[in-house]
Structure 1
Amino acid sequence: MRTLKWKWLIIVIVTVLALWQLHYSYVYFRMTQEQKENIDPLVLKKIASRALHLGLDLKGGMHIVLQIDKSKLKPEEQQGALDRALEIIRNRVDQFGVSEPVIQKQGTDRILVQLPGVINKERAEEIIGKTALLEFKLVADPDVFSKTVSAIDEYLKNTYGDTVSLSGFFVGQDNSVEVDYKPVVDKFLNDPEVKKLIPYGYEFLWGKPVIREGYTTVSLYLVKSEPLLTGDAILDAVPGVGTPSNPSGVKVELTMTRRASGKWAMITGANIGKRIAIVLDDIVQSAPVVRERIPNGRSLIEMGNSSVEDAKALAIILKAGALPAPLKIVEERTIGPALGLDSIKAGARSFVIGSIVVLLFMLIYYMVAGAIADLALILNILYLLAILSAFRATLTMPGIAGIILTVGMAVDANVLIFERLREELKGGKTFRTALEAAYTRVFTTIFDANATTFIAAIILYWFGTGPVKGFAVTLSIGLVASFFTALFVTRTVMETISLKNIKSLKMLQFFKNANIDFLRRRKIAYYVSLGLIILSVVALMINKGPR
């Protein structure tokens, strides 16, 4: 009795946690666009981060494959060209403000870009496909920055109220803004009246996102509009460790071309003690201080407490500005929100119809036991979706197919249990003894079936891509959830029922005394299987897929 109480407590706790996790999805997907715009960005981010993450085929967006043309590059330039192009694309995608974009290499010369929620095809192609622009711009003196921010604060307070100011968004000493509030600050900075308050010849630029104490921030810079130099002035950039002020400090050694060296000497000589921003596609990557005049074109950028990986990334960005290899779009697909919504409706419809048919069959055929199985099936789906949401796994259309398959496998486990229970009761055992024997004897069968399918799902995830991975994720999570509900939840309910001195459970039986000797007919199965294999191989040879 005490053991049963603990089992029920575990079931209740797991179910409550699953419902709590899924309520974020319920709240998020019921919100209108207007509500999302009016809610606090941090609150919206929290809700969105805990809601179900929909894939490109459900949410809508763009799928782009870019190819880098290395034919005009020298052998030494080809090395690392893909990494530089990848950094350029990642930098540009940040401008969209896309939630969880996919940016990854494909082979030796291609880059895959997936932008969920982005449907402006022309704008996306324009930004992603354009040539990289690397510039060196002079950062405004601190007093110029302070006076400009003060003037903007005064205007905002007079226009929107005393509680609104630009400086109110700053955190830390480097004029950083939490990334969730960046759209709000952009809105203020794009106000025509605010633009009039910015000194002539200056502009505001954002830095790249930085994670500090669990928060993602971006720094705001006031820089000269006209660049001092552009990316074609860079000959090479090499990351390293060891600076004059810190033997273990990371650095980037920058070498200018012979033509740019003289101009760089004039620039650094005239701006000692000032900061020069390294800007890639209007995003400030770094803003080092000029310590002295650099006459030979060889500069040392000290990166303070940054990591070696940060130094490598900056070196890639510096070399990216001089990358002569163009990027061309070789594959693109745009999935509109309406098509994504249609996919969701079609998937949901097939899922609901399939589930209802299974639930009704179990209820009619196995009666009370079927009702218990139906309860376990509903909990199985609940746990599966909650786990997907909690671990930020992406739900795709193939993923929905994996959920539907999971429903069938969960029912299969219950069918094995109930049929074994029927046989044990026919043998003259009491209900409690038969129940114990049924669960004990089918455990190995259910475990083996789930284990082999789970291994197959892992292999699909490991070697598959895109849709295949989505199917593998939901299938593997569903298997774990169905194993728990079939062998723990249903057993707990059945054991509770057995305390009421029930002698048996009524169930229908379509095939009584069925005794088929499958082993005697195994040769037929061999021939049929062999025939199907040969037919499949021939079909593959005839139809090699779309050309």
Structure 2
Amino acid sequence: MINHYPLWKYALILIVLGVGTLYALPNLFGEDPAVQVSASRASINDNLRDRMVGELANEEIEIKESEVSDRLLIRLHSEEDQLKALEVIENALDRQYVTALNLAPATPEWLTFIRALPMYLGLDLRGGVHFLMEVDLAGAVRQAEQSYAGDLRTLLRENKIRQRSILSRSSGGFVIRFQDADNRDRAYELIRARNPELEVTSTDAAEEPVLEVLLGEDARREIESFAVQQNITTLRNRVNELGVAEPVIQRQGGDRIVVQLPGVQDTVRAKEILGATATLEFRMVHEESAGSLASGELPGTGKRYEDRSGVPIILQRNVMLTGEYITDAASGIEQQTGSPAVFITLDGKGARLFSERTRDRIGQTMAVVYIEHKSFTEIVDGERVRQKEIVEEVINTAVIRDQLGKRFQITGLGNTEEARDLALLLRAGALAAPIDIIEERTVGPSLGQANIDQGFRSVVIGFLLVLVLMAIRYRVFGMVANLALTFNLVLVIALLSLLQATLTLPGIAGIVLTVGMAVDANVLIFERIREEIRNGNTPQASIHSGYEKAFSTIADANITTLIAAVLLFGFGTGPIKGFAITLSLGIITSMFTAIMFTRALINLIYGGRRLKTLSIGGQQGRIDGRPA
């Protein structure tokens, strides 16, 4: 029997189709309007959930379900209840919690248990917010120049070189004025030796010896690149507070960052979180602070702070180091004591500064201060008013055991979770440069749903037209192709869900194109079978020859298209990638369904039988052939 499959091939096909159907199922259940609560330094637990559920019950707002993980998610029955619940929850919580509107997948628990999750929908389908942010690179360079100016002032003082003033220039860089040419010349040699990245020019201005100092071109480019990359890292961590699935955060050009948050409905809250600026400072604990706290009088060199527990502490006013010099921070375990620790890596300049400033402070206590500039919205006289506040808190204190340099560790932390949080703050807690939102675009859920409906209609209409055409032209073989086409769509959706890929409108276009390509393979096979029958071959031999001889043509066409899709994915961005992903997956699945699946069905229908005719279209719906 030439048209026969071994049992293992039928088993393989059934397994693939069964698994594909199972993992495509989650996309049928839709999403629930939800309010989520997250916190960077507060606890999310069952007590918080019970309190929020109680607050909503008092306002007669019925909830669908509540979940606690790293965030609190409260599902509601309607968007109207969602908006009411947000207002109630915001009024019940303080500002250390972050609340946001979102859409949560309504996938049943038994599917999520086997990691069967719906595919992500892009901004154009799900709705959400789009921000185009501009990084103030000039501000980043100015901050670096101010830091250099302070460092050089200290360097000259330590080497007993007298200078009158250090003044910034509006055109960039700064000018150091000296009392005489001898001090200027000594400073010139010292600065060039210690800071080769600076461009130093010795000159006389108004009969006064001066040094003009500029950042070198390489140093400037490095500062600008670091500012953009550090801001991207920081924004990613802040987006995690919103719990957004598949956010898009990427660089655009030299100084801009694109942020897309699918599913986020609260634009104001998103702007508050993304636009917050923060800095880190290392300060020494004031050694005479105990008496000052008791008397309430601060020493002239001290400044009062509080730790995260609200305990007051007095630190030195002079800043030892800021977080801009940190290139990496990782949590771990200190080998000698086995206690949690954070391992810090500084850049070259930061390492030199820290080494100099900790050399004479061994045995003293150092503190890490986290300073955040927050924006928030309050209801004042019935209107939403934007407010700003500065939060300064000591997140860690530790004793300096050795002179610190490029790499050092911070110990004295309570647990590994605290160490991990501190590493996160040190690594990406601060924006390296100010950012401005220069473009804001909101895609409402209704518009996103309209796009989904239109895209769905395009797939359905194209799909139905193909089904009708195939059934009319190829009869039984056409119905087999239609069944294969149906499973092809199921497998594409299942793969998108398994890969947790993001479906966009161009992605839907890729699926529509896949429908046409899948049918094209079957058309080639069926036309080859009809040609073999017209040449006088038996039906069984025609089926065998049709599949065998058409395979190379189908493979060549699909491989060349797959190469084009891979190139589109590699060199394209955004929507082009979405189109390339669905097209690539569709090519792979269509090769399976259009060849292996249809051949298996045809073998089941016609294999092992003595045939006089095949229902494959033609005159009077069939083409006659000699008996097998």
In 2, distance between residues paired with 1:35 and 1:46?
21
Instruction: Note if contact 2:569-2:581 (Cα within 8 Å) is conserved in structure 1.
Output: yes
In 1, distance between residues paired with 2:421 and 2:67?
34
- Aligned equivalent of 1:50: 117
Whichever structure has more strand as a proportion of its residues is 2
- Aligned equivalent of 1:471: 579
- Aligned equivalent of 1:410: 518
Q: 2:274 aligns with which of 121, 124, 128?
A: 128
| CA displacement at 1:281 relative to structure 2 | 6.8
| CA displacement at 1:30 relative to structure 2 | 5.8
In 2, distance between residues paired with 1:406 and 1:81?
42
Q: Indicate how the Cα distance of structure 1 residues 286 and 4 shifts in structure 2: closer, same or farther if over 3 A, else same.
A: farther
| CA displacement at 1:84 relative to structure 2 | 2.3
| CA displacement at 1:98 relative to structure 2 | 2.0
TM-score by length of 1: 0.65
- Aligned equivalent of 1:88: 234
Instruction: Note if contact 2:284-2:320 (Cα within 8 Å) is conserved in structure 1.
Output: no
- Aligned equivalent of 1:234: 321
Paired-residue identity, %: 37
CA deviation map 1:465-490 (0-9, x unaligned): 11111111001100110111111011
Look up the SS of the partner of 1:384 in the other structure: helix
In 1, distance between residues paired with 2:482 and 2:317?
67
In 2, distance between residues paired with 1:509 and 1:227?
93
Q: Indicate how the Cα distance of structure 1 residues 3 and 277 shifts in structure 2: closer, same or farther if over 3 A, else same.
A: farther
Instruction: Note if contact 2:282-2:320 (Cα within 8 Å) is conserved in structure 1.
Output: no
Kindly indicate whether residue 117 of structure 2 is the aligned counterpart of residue 117 of structure 1: no
Amino acid at match of 1:302: Q
| CA displacement at 1:415 relative to structure 2 | 0.8
Equivalences for residues 238-257 of structure 1 within 5 A: 238=326, 250-253=343-346
- Aligned equivalent of 2:46: none
Instruction: Note if contact 2:507-2:578 (Cα within 8 Å) is conserved in structure 1.
Output: yes
Amino acid at match of 1:251: I
- Aligned equivalent of 1:103: 249
- Aligned equivalent of 2:23: 21
Amino acid at match of 1:234: L
| CA displacement at 1:435 relative to structure 2 | 0.8
In 2, distance between residues paired with 1:505 and 1:336?
53
- Aligned equivalent of 2:160: none
Instruction: Note if contact 1:63-1:334 (Cα within 8 Å) is conserved in structure 2.
Output: yes
Whichever structure has more helix as a proportion of its residues is 1
- Aligned equivalent of 2:134: 67
In 1, distance between residues paired with 2:228 and 2:318?
18
- Aligned equivalent of 1:172: none
Structure 1 unaligned residues grouped into runs of 5+ = 140-200, 205-221, 513-547
In 2, distance between residues paired with 1:475 and 1:125?
35
CA deviation map 1:313-363 (0-9, x unaligned): 766547x46x4x421223332111111111111111111111111101111
Question: What is the RMSD of the two structures over their aligned residues, measured on CA atoms?
Answer: 4.6
Q: Indicate how the Cα distance of structure 1 residues 327 and 49 shifts in structure 2: closer, same or farther if over 3 A, else same.
A: farther
Q: Indicate how the Cα distance of structure 1 residues 20 and 284 shifts in structure 2: closer, same or farther if over 3 A, else same.
A: farther
TM-score by length of 2: 0.57
In 1, distance between residues paired with 2:586 and 2:602?
22
Look up the SS of the partner of 1:63 in the other structure: strand
CA deviation map 1:395-423 (0-9, x unaligned): 11111111111001111111111111001
Q: Indicate how the Cα distance of structure 1 residues 229 and 369 shifts in structure 2: closer, same or farther if over 3 A, else same.
A: farther
Kindly indicate whether residue 78 of structure 2 is the aligned counterpart of residue 38 of structure 1: no
Q: Indicate how the Cα distance of structure 1 residues 25 and 115 shifts in structure 2: closer, same or farther if over 3 A, else same.
A: same
Look up the SS of the partner of 1:290 in the other structure: strand
Kindly indicate whether residue 535 of structure 2 is the aligned counterpart of residue 427 of structure 1: yes
Structure 2 unaligned residues grouped into runs of 5+ = 35-61, 71-107, 146-214, 286-304, 337-341, 375-390, 622-628
Amino acid at match of 2:599: R
Instruction: Note if contact 1:60-1:334 (Cα within 8 Å) is conserved in structure 2.
Output: yes
CA deviation map 1:128-176 (0-9, x unaligned): 234334467999xxxxxxxxxxxxxxxxxxxxxxxxxxxxxxxxxxxxx
In 2, distance between residues paired with 1:286 and 1:9?
63
Q: Indicate how the Cα distance of structure 1 residues 17 and 223 shifts in structure 2: closer, same or farther if over 3 A, else same.
A: farther
Amino acid at match of 2:254: T
In 1, distance between residues paired with 2:249 and 2:65?
27
- Aligned equivalent of 1:186: none
